[in-house]
Amino acid sequence: MMAEPMREHDSTSVQRATRGVGDCSGRWYGGVIGGHNVCWEKFARYFEVELKEVKLREGYYVMNPVKAVEMVDENTICVAAILGSTLNGEFEDVKLVNDLLIEKNKQTGWDTPIHVDAASGGFIAPFLYPELEWDFRLPLVKSINVSGHKYGLVYAGIGWVIWRNKDDLPDELIFHINYLGADQPTFTLNFSKGSSQVIAQYYQLIRLGHEGYTNVMENCRENMRVLKDGLEKTGRFNIVSKDDGVPLVAFSLKDNHSHNEFEVSEFLRRFGWIVPAYTMPANAEHITVLRVVIREDFSRTLAERLVIDIQKVLHELDSLPSKLTANVSVSVDHKEVDKNGTVVAKKTALETQREITTIWRKWVMDRKKTNGVC
Ligand SMILES: *Cc1c(COP(=O)(O)O)cnc(C)c1O
């Protein structure tokens, strides 16, 4: 799909993008990316692109635009901004990336463009935050991907990329096939694929229209608030997601010393809920969160029921002895005496928390053998 430029066309950026993609040195150039989604790691490995990730830190789970633009060098293919972090649903500041990058491009003579991974946000921002500039209104945004099977409201298996302009998709990547009597341009990684999802997407777009999608997204946001308020009222959780962004609630226990988020997740399964618990990526890996993504079919009644079930789980866990006591009490009460006979300080709460996370992470990894969040 092509989108016609909404503002004047910046031809130098196009050349740059084309040059990066078309280079045949055997190795692609690097890309800078902020947030974290396993699809980017996959892309980097399969296509031999060096991925430079802006490290997150506790309490700040999106790309820092200043750091991202600092990391751009002459080999950078693009800066990839994520609209709707996988971790907490927060939107990255694409406009600031755009403005800083314009400045850097001006100073260096480079023309690094931006790709926006709007897998979830692409179907949320236009309806809930129409004023937010994250798309082709920003001159450096050259391509955007969206997942139809997320907030596009289609069953699994459809996603697409939109380029700003026809020239932004290098012609050498398009195959022209003489098939069934007409020229068919194709740009895909696989070949034959059923069209049912495309038809379903088309149906949804026509059936719901702008107004329908707006109603659905507003409803999701409303139910997200019901869930968030309910969780806050328990007094037991820190909310890690933001009010603006993908309608989801990411939360962690205020106190996970005797029972942690993985246990909450495990216990919720008995009530029929599958709520993932995961640790944050590098530099914030001692933080564990539970995440509930609110979609169209997640009603207010379900949100209220989930809060009730979470309260039951907390109650149940409170009455159980800590699964971790054996492992953790050793470290909490451990006072090391060095060779001079001086007592070394006990581990800090953070160190203890890290230790608990490590134990659980290993336990989860052994079971899942995967570490990506998607
Ligand atoms: C879901 C998601 C993806 C993957 O998209 P699919 O259409 O499921 O392949 C990529 N990036 C982000 C930020 C996502 O949330």
- DSSP line for 196-220: HHHHHHHHHHHHHHHHHHHHHHHHH
pLDDT of amino acid 345? 55
Ligand 1 pocket residue status of 159, Cβ below 6 Å:
yes
CA of 85 to the centre of ligand 1 (A): 10
Residue 264 in any domain: the answer is yes
pLDDT of amino acid 261? 96
Of the two residues 63 and 349, the one the predictor is more confident about is 63
Say how many Å lie between the first and final Cα of the chain, rounded.
Answer: 25
Count of the separate structural domains present in the chain:
2
pLDDT over threshold 50, residue 333: no
CA of 108 to the centre of ligand 1 (A): 32
- DSSP line for 230-279: HHHHHT-EEE-S-SSSSSEEEEEES--SSS-HHHHHHHHGGGT----EEE
CA of 119 to the centre of ligand 1 (A): 5
Residue 357 in any domain: the answer is yes
Residue 32 in any domain: the answer is yes
Ligand 1 pocket residue status of 89, Cβ below 6 Å:
no
pLDDT of amino acid 282? 80
Say if residue 121 is in the same domain as residue 40.
yes
82: left (phi over 0), alpha (psi -120 to 50) or beta: beta
Of the two residues 201 and 30, the one the predictor is more confident about is 201
pLDDT of amino acid 170? 87
Please name every residue paired with 143 in a beta bridge, in sequence order, or none if there are none.
115, 163
Say if residue 209 is in the same domain as residue 358.
yes
Angstrom CA distances, 260 to 21, 348, 363, stand at: 45, 18, 13
Residue with tokens 């945004």: 141
Residue 193 in any domain: the answer is no
Say if residue 133 is in the same domain as residue 231.
no
The least confident of 1-15, 85-99, 220-234, 236-250 is 1-15
CA distance 178 to 181: 6
Give the mean pLDDT of 257-262. Answer: 94
Say if residue 169 is in the same domain as residue 299.
no
Say if residue 157 is in the same domain as residue 212.
no
pLDDT of amino acid 330? 42
pLDDT over threshold 90, residue 323: no
Residue with tokens 């099977």: 149
How far is C-alpha 252 from the chain's CA centre? Answer: 17
Task: State the residue range of the domain holding 66.
Answer: 11-178
What is the pLDDT confidence band of residue 20, given thresholds at 50, 70 and 90? very low
pLDDT of amino acid 58? 86
The CATH number assigned to the domain holding 133 equals 3.40.640.10
What is the pLDDT confidence band of residue 187, given thresholds at 50, 70 and 90? confident
Say if residue 165 is in the same domain as residue 267.
no
Ligand 1 pocket residue status of 90, Cβ below 6 Å:
no
Say if residue 339 is in the same domain as residue 227.
yes
The least confident of 3-12, 174-183, 210-219 is 3-12
The least confident of 138-152, 198-212, 339-353 is 339-353
Last residue of a domain, one of 178, 212, 228: 178
pLDDT of amino acid 40? 86
Residue 67 in any domain: the answer is yes
What is the pLDDT confidence band of residue 298, given thresholds at 50, 70 and 90? very high
CA of 147 to the centre of ligand 1 (A): 6
Q: Give kind and range of the element (H or E) at residue 77.
A: strand 76-82
pLDDT of amino acid 283? 84
CB-based contact 165:9 (threshold 8 Å): yes
Give the mean pLDDT of 209-230. Answer: 98
Of the two residues 193 and 344, the one the predictor is more confident about is 193
Ligand 1 pocket residue status of 39, Cβ below 6 Å:
yes
CA of 228 to the centre of ligand 1 (A): 24
Strand duo 114-117 + 76-82: pairing:
parallel
Last residue of a domain, one of 178, 194, 215: 178
Average pLDDT taken over every residue of the chain: 84
pLDDT of amino acid 259? 94
Return the top range by mean pLDDT from 72-76, 186-190, 324-328: 72-76
Q: Which residues lie closer than 8 Å to 168 by C-beta, 6 or more apart?
A: 14, 17, 18, 142, 143
Q: Pick from 103, 36, 34, 102: which is nearest to 68 by CA?
A: 34
Say if residue 206 is in the same domain as residue 298.
yes
CA of 53 to the centre of ligand 1 (A): 17
The least confident of 17-21, 81-85, 98-102, 188-192 is 17-21
Ligand 1 pocket residue status of 82, Cβ below 6 Å:
yes
Ligand 1 pocket residue status of 92, Cβ below 6 Å:
no
CB-based contact 114:72 (threshold 8 Å): no
Q: Which ligand 1 atom lies nearest to the CA of residue 84?
A: 13
Residue 215 in any domain: the answer is yes
Ligand 1 pocket residue status of 147, Cβ below 6 Å:
yes
What is the pLDDT confidence band of residue 355, given thresholds at 50, 70 and 90? confident
pLDDT of amino acid 76? 92
Ligand 1 pocket residue status of 357, Cβ below 6 Å:
no
Ligand 1 pocket residue status of 120, Cβ below 6 Å:
yes
Say if residue 127 is in the same domain as residue 254.
no
pLDDT of amino acid 144? 97
Say if residue 305 is in the same domain as residue 270.
yes
Say if residue 71 is in the same domain as residue 150.
yes
Ligand 1 pocket residue status of 33, Cβ below 6 Å:
no
CA distance 249 to 354: 23
Residue 4 in any domain: the answer is no
User: What pTM, to 2 d.p., does this model score?
Assistant: 0.80
CA of 109 to the centre of ligand 1 (A): 32
Of the two residues 214 and 371, the one the predictor is more confident about is 214
Residue 345 in any domain: the answer is yes
Say if residue 302 is in the same domain as residue 341.
yes
Q: Which ligand 1 atom lies nearest to the CA of residue 146?
A: 7
The CATH number assigned to the domain holding 310 equals 3.90.1150.160
Q: Specify the residue with its C-alpha closest to ligand 1, atom 8.
A: 147
Say which amino acid occupies 215. N
265-283 pLDDT, tens per residue? 999 999 999 999 999 888 8
Ligand 1 pocket residue status of 197, Cβ below 6 Å:
no
Q: Specify the residue with its C-alpha closest to ligand 1, atom 2.
A: 119
